Amino acid sequence: MSSESEKLHDTVSTQDARMGDGVDSRFNSKLREAFGSTPFILTKFDKFMNWVRGNSMFMLQFGIACCSIEMIHTYAIKHDLDRFGAGVPRASPRQADVIIVPGTIVSKFAPRMKRVYDQMPEPKFVVGMGSCTISGGPFQEGYNVIKGAEEVIPVDIHVPGCPPRPEALIYGIAKLQERIRNGETSPVTVKPYELEEFGDLERDELVRHLADRIDEDDLVMRYNWADSP
Interface with another protein by CB under 8 A: which residues?
Answer: 61-66, 68-70, 72-73, 76-78, 91, 103-104, 106-113, 115-116, 138-139, 141-145, 162-163, 165, 195, 198, 201, 206-207, 209-210, 213-214, 218-226
Tell how far CA 93 is from the center of its chain.
Answer: 12
195 residue type, one letter: L
* Element containing residue 99 per DSSP (H, E): strand 98-102
Output the smallest distance, CB 39 to another protein, in A.
36
52 vs 206, which CB is nearer to another protein? 206
165 vs 181, which CB is nearer to another protein? 165
CB atoms within 10 A of CB 110: 20
DSSP state of 10: H
Output the smallest distance, CB 225 to another protein, in A.
5
Output the smallest distance, CB 110 to another protein, in A.
8
Task: Give me the phi and psi of 33, to 5 degrees please.
Answer: -60, -45
44 vs 213, which CB is nearer to another protein? 213
The residue count of the chain comes to 229
180 vs 220, which CB is nearer to another protein? 220
Output the smallest distance, CB 170 to another protein, in A.
14
Task: Give me the phi and psi of 110, to 5 degrees please.
Answer: -55, -45
- Bridge partners of 60? 90
Tell how far CA 116 is from the center of its chain.
Answer: 13
Output the smallest distance, CB 228 to another protein, in A.
10
> Which residue, 149, 112, 113, is CA-closest to 134?
149
110 vs 173, which CB is nearer to another protein? 110
212 residue type, one letter: D
Task: Give me the phi and psi of 26, to 5 degrees please.
Answer: -65, -20
116 vs 155, which CB is nearer to another protein? 116
* DSSP strands (E only) in 130-194: 157-159
- Bridge partners of 21? none
Output the smallest distance, CB 165 to another protein, in A.
6
